[in-house]
Each structure stands twice: as structure tokens, then as C-alpha cells.
Structure 1
């Protein structure tokens, strides 16, 4: 199907259909949605070269994907990418994904923008005093950051969840249940979300006159194996923690495996709370003991970021430049009152 046939099908002029597809503001939202719906039904694809000449736009969003030999893949990134795709397909936008060594991301961003193949740029995995922010602000394309850096002004477009509040609330719940020795299985220490989650936990403990024992903290990639090895290390401490906070349900999967191997009952011997990114293959309610979680959908965040970028590119609507989402605390069976005494894991292994 070509543009002429599509316009005849809709009973609209070719100019109106073309303007709707190219995001011209004078085409009302109802007409644009009608055209996009017909595009989805008929499989029509505009001539990208002609579209670019007419509008000066590439119809693409750029993403830099850090990767290198030995660098762990991340299921969380895949779920976020699915959310970006949900919104991008509604507007016939493409992705340009540029793999990059983690130490070369700034240069990769520059090359991606210089190529002229993208209209906007997205980055994630924010770090303390992240140098990519200044770079993005110096480039000629719109951008959005998923997360927020630490130690630099927050004067750039972002979408983030309130990681500090999420882990503060989770820790407070555990303290209210009588837990005093609480451990943390966290993401890599250089990521801003991990720093904020640890701060939120430490603040809640301090409010009750408690301190975070660094021997009860692990920073690692958020994988099942790291959750398992971290939990085993905690159980080998002279006084093991009665409660665990996990920065991902993937880490929690490994932690639960270690607790099961030790013969400990989740929710009574040890309480566990995980952050739930709403990963479709790892639902907290389907664990052997349903997990208490702080929940915020990565897919929804991806969709929102794509909506904001595309709206800015096509001048569809004015949306907030900065958004901080509150995570939802959902209490399930994995949290319960603190046991009367710790150390039984060692006693059991010795007996």
C-alpha cells in the first residue's frame, strides 16, 4: 500500500495523511490516531528517505548499550526496552542501539548523534557525578535520563523512582516487626540507584538508633548467583541477619535458594523484601513464599520515556521534564516478626 491508497482508504488528502504521520501540530489528535491505526492495520510503511527529506527527522531514538567481554547481560534492560518499544511502535519510531564498551560510552554518544541517524538519545545506569550528563547537555538532540546522578545539579530531563524512600519504607517495616540486624543485597556500588537504596536503609535504621553493619552489605551485579553467594556469606556470619533487603527479585531468587538449602523458613526464621521491577518471568507472588516487595514497573518507565521523547520530537504535547515515581510497598508472606534469637543457621549446620 502506498500513500495515495492509504489516503483513499481514510477519505483524507495525501497531505493530511503525510502531516499526521510526520507529527505536524496542525493535525488534531483524533485524526492522527485514526491514521496511525490504519497504518497498523494495513502494514503501510512510509518511504523513510522521503520522510526525512520532508521533515528533517530520522524517526529514531538512540540508545547506548554497555557491553564487553565478561560484562554481565541484564534482564532488567530487556524489560525496559520492551516498554520503550510499546510506545515507539504507536508512532512508527525506530531504535538505533549502539553497543559500547562501558569505558567508551561518551564517545559512543557523540558518534551516534554525529551520524544524524537519531532524533533523540536515552541513557541509563546513572553513576555518581556522571560525566555523561554534561556531554548530553552539550549535544544537539533532546535526551532523557533514566535515573539521576549524585553530586551534580539535577537540571536535566529525567525519570526516576524514589529509591531512597522505597528502601527507607521497607527497612522501617522490618524494624516495626522487631528486626534489628538487617542485611542488604544491592546492585553495583557505583550506580546511583544502589547508593540511594543504601542511604534510605541506613536512614531508617538511624531513626531507630541502629546502624548498618557493612559486613551485612553486598554490592554486585543483580544475578541469581550473586544473590545465592551473598546470602550464604551472610549466613556464615557469627550473628546472621534476621532480615534481608534485595535490590531485585533476581537477587532474591538466589537468596531464597540459599535460605532453603540452610533449612530456614522465609517469613519466620528470616524475613525478605525485594525490589520488584515487574519482570514477567519472575513474579514475586509466585515464589515458594510470596515476596514482600517495593514495586515500580520498568516497562512502564520505558514506555513513559519513549512517550516524552516522541512528544518532544513531534511537538505533540508538553510533558514534565522531570519525574520522580514513588514505589509501592506490597506486603506478602516473606516478612514476619523477628525470631527470638539469631545464629540458628550456624547451630543447624554444626548439629
Structure 2
């Protein structure tokens, strides 16, 4: 089945069929679904080379995969990519993935744009006053940011989680339970989300005349081993915290291991709240003591970023009513949190 044959079968122009398959907004949903159903039933697949010549589009989304000899595979990156891939498949888009170290990311983005191999791309792992945004704004292709960059104007399309609000609410909940000594196992200090989570924690503590002890803060790659080491170091100090905030359930996995080794009972001796990205292989409700979490789905964020980016590619603009999306986070209370120990 080729495009001409599909056109004759459906009684639609070849242009309409191409636009329906590629997600152009001017094709109504009923027609789009009719075309997609017929394409699936007949096994029709657009000819990539012909499609690119006809539309001037590569049919690809670009992304930079951060790499570092110090970091293992990142489950959070993989989960976000899973959501992005779901939507890309629906719209028949491919990925062009370019690995790059932090210091080479700007050059990698310039290469992607200049190569003509992508129609748009997204930026992630944002940092304070991130120079990649200004650079992306100077280039010719649509882009969207997953996250935000603290210290610069939000004059760009983004989708972010309210990281400050999430950790502010989590800290306030623990304060209401009587906790006063807190620890924070956070992501890398140079990343925007980690900065905002620390800011939310400190704001809630300051309202009660309290402060985070610098000895109780760890900024690391968000892995199991890092959570274990960080928690073990903190527990070895003279003033053991009774409340712990973890920037990821992966960090919490290691932290719980350290607490178990120290024979501390979760939810009784120490309360713990983790940021839950709904990771399918690490569900907080399946921990031996189910974790209280601030809930946010990386997969759903990946899907939404892909939807908006593909819309921008087809229309030349972000057609969403709001360029900046800031997702609120729910606090889900389970057994890992309880009143502060009586002695405290």
C-alpha cells in the first residue's frame, strides 16, 4: 500500500493523509483517526525520504544524553525518555540521541541544529543561569525545556514540577509531627531542581525558627549507593536527625539500607519522605515500610514535553494556552513518617 493507493481508498487527498499522519492541527480528529486506522489495517508506512522532501521535515526529535565517567545509568532519564517515546511513536517521530559531557552540551546542540537531522529538541538538567537557553533562542529550531533555570527570566517554553513547593509541604508536614532535626539527601548542587528543593525545605524550617545543619546535607548523583553512603555518614555524626528528605526514591532505597544497619526503625526512630517519580521498578508502596512521598510522574512529563514539542514543530509555535507549565505535587502519606521520638 502506497500513499496514492491509500488516497484512492479513503477518498482523501494525499496531502490530507500526510497531514493526518503527521499530526497537523488543521486535520480534524475524526479524519485523523480514520486515516490512522486505515494505515494500520493496510500496513501503510510513509516513505521517510519522500516525506522529508515533501515537507522539509526530518521527522525526528533531538536530545542530548548527559554522560560522565562518575555516573552510572540514570533511571530517571530512562523513565522520562519512555514517556517521550510513547508520544513520538504515535506521531511517527524518531529520536536523534547525541551523548555529550556537560562542557560539550552547547556544541552538541549546535551540531544537531546545523545537521538538519532534527525538527526540534528539548533541554533538561537545567542549571542556574543556564547559558543553553540563550543559545537555543538564537538558533532556528523549536525547543522546550524540561525544568527551569534559576536566576534568568522565564521567557521560554518549559514544563517543570513545583520542586520548591513539594519540599516546603513535605517539611511542614514533618514539622507538624514535631520533628526539629532534619537531613536532606539531594541531587547535584548545580542542578536547578536540587536548588529549589533545598530552598523549599529551608523556607519551611525558617518559618519555625529552624535551619538545616550543613553537616546533614548531601548533594550527589541520585543512586542507591549514594543514598546509602550519605545516610551512613550523617548517622555517624553527634546530632542524629529524626527527619530525612530524599530527592528520589532511588536515594531513599540506599538511605533505608543505612537506617536498617543502624537498627533504626523507619517511621518511629526516623521519619523519611522521598520524591516519588512513580518509577515502575521502584514503587514506594513496596518498600518494607511503605514510603511517604511527594508524587510526580516523569513518564507523564516526558509525554507532555513530546506533545508540546511536536505541536511546535508542526505549527512553528507553541500552541498551548500557557507556555510555562508548573505541575503541582501531591503529598502521599504512608508508614515511613510518624511523630518525632519522645526524647526529641
Q: Provide closer, same or farther for how the CA distance between residues 127 and 40 of structure 1 changes in structure 2, counting only shifts above 3 A.
A: farther
Question: In structure 2, what is the Cα distance between the partners aligned to 1:284 and 1:118?
Answer: 37
1:345 aligns with none
Larger deviation, residues 315-324 vs 165-174 = 315-324
The secondary structure found in structure 2 opposite 1:268 is coil
Please report how far the alpha carbon of residue 302 of structure 1 lies from its aligned counterpart in structure 2 after TM superposition. Answer: 0.4
1:329 aligns with 331
What is the correspondence of 1:222-261 to structure 2 with a 5 Å cutoff?
222-261=222-261
Question: In structure 2, what is the Cα distance between the partners aligned to 1:17 and 1:7?
Answer: 7
The secondary structure found in structure 2 opposite 1:125 is coil
Please report how far the alpha carbon of residue 187 of structure 1 lies from its aligned counterpart in structure 2 after TM superposition. Answer: 0.3
Q: Over aligned residue pairs, what C-alpha RMSD do you find? A: 1.6
The answer as to 2:103 corresponding to 1:99 is no
The secondary structure found in structure 2 opposite 1:58 is coil
Q: Provide closer, same or farther for how the CA distance between residues 25 and 173 of structure 1 changes in structure 2, counting only shifts above 3 A.
A: closer
**TM-score normalised to structure 1 length:** 0.94
Question: In structure 1, what is the Cα distance between the partners aligned to 2:7 and 2:269?
Answer: 67
Question: In structure 1, what is the Cα distance between the partners aligned to 2:238 and 2:191?
Answer: 30
State the Cα deviation string for residues 191-229 of structure 1 (Å, max 9, x = none): 000000000000000001111111010000000001001
Q: Provide closer, same or farther for how the CA distance between residues 230 and 162 of structure 1 changes in structure 2, counting only shifts above 3 A.
A: same
1:118 aligns with 118
State the Cα deviation string for residues 135-187 of structure 1 (Å, max 9, x = none): 01001001000000011111111000010000000000000000000100000
1:130 aligns with 130
Question: Number of residues paired by the alignment?
Answer: 342
The secondary structure found in structure 2 opposite 1:19 is helix
2:37 aligns with 37
Q: Provide closer, same or farther for how the CA distance between residues 41 and 164 of structure 1 changes in structure 2, counting only shifts above 3 A.
A: farther
Please report how far the alpha carbon of residue 58 of structure 1 lies from its aligned counterpart in structure 2 after TM superposition. Answer: 1.0
Please report how far the alpha carbon of residue 11 of structure 1 lies from its aligned counterpart in structure 2 after TM superposition. Answer: 4.6
Question: In structure 2, what is the Cα distance between the partners aligned to 1:43 and 1:179?
Answer: 61
Are the counterparts in 1 of residues 231 and 259 from structure 2 also a CA contact under 8 Å? yes
Question: In structure 2, what is the Cα distance between the partners aligned to 1:198 and 1:25?
Answer: 41
Question: In structure 2, what is the Cα distance between the partners aligned to 1:294 and 1:226?
Answer: 20
Question: In structure 2, what is the Cα distance between the partners aligned to 1:230 and 1:328?
Answer: 26
1:140 aligns with 140
Question: In structure 2, what is the Cα distance between the partners aligned to 1:229 and 1:41?
Answer: 54
The answer as to 2:319 corresponding to 1:318 is yes
What is the correspondence of 1:34-113 to structure 2 with a 5 Å cutoff?
34-113=34-113
Please report how far the alpha carbon of residue 56 of structure 1 lies from its aligned counterpart in structure 2 after TM superposition. Answer: 1.1
Please report how far the alpha carbon of residue 8 of structure 1 lies from its aligned counterpart in structure 2 after TM superposition. Answer: 4.6
Are the counterparts in 2 of residues 36 and 90 from structure 1 also a CA contact under 8 Å? no
State the Cα deviation string for residues 240-262 of structure 1 (Å, max 9, x = none): 00010000000000011111111
* Gap regions ≥5 residues in structure 1: 343-351
Are the counterparts in 1 of residues 61 and 119 from structure 2 also a CA contact under 8 Å? yes
* Gap regions ≥5 residues in structure 2: none
State the Cα deviation string for residues 279-324 of structure 1 (Å, max 9, x = none): 0000000000010000110000000000001112223982121100
Please report how far the alpha carbon of residue 99 of structure 1 lies from its aligned counterpart in structure 2 after TM superposition. Answer: 0.9
The secondary structure found in structure 2 opposite 1:78 is helix
Q: Provide closer, same or farther for how the CA distance between residues 232 and 41 of structure 1 changes in structure 2, counting only shifts above 3 A.
A: farther
Are the counterparts in 2 of residues 275 and 295 from structure 1 also a CA contact under 8 Å? yes
1:349 aligns with none
Please report how far the alpha carbon of residue 10 of structure 1 lies from its aligned counterpart in structure 2 after TM superposition. Answer: 3.7
Please report how far the alpha carbon of residue 34 of structure 1 lies from its aligned counterpart in structure 2 after TM superposition. Answer: 2.4
Are the counterparts in 1 of residues 274 and 292 from structure 2 also a CA contact under 8 Å? yes
Question: In structure 1, what is the Cα distance between the partners aligned to 2:187 and 2:25?
Answer: 43
Q: Provide closer, same or farther for how the CA distance between residues 185 and 305 of structure 1 changes in structure 2, counting only shifts above 3 A.
A: same
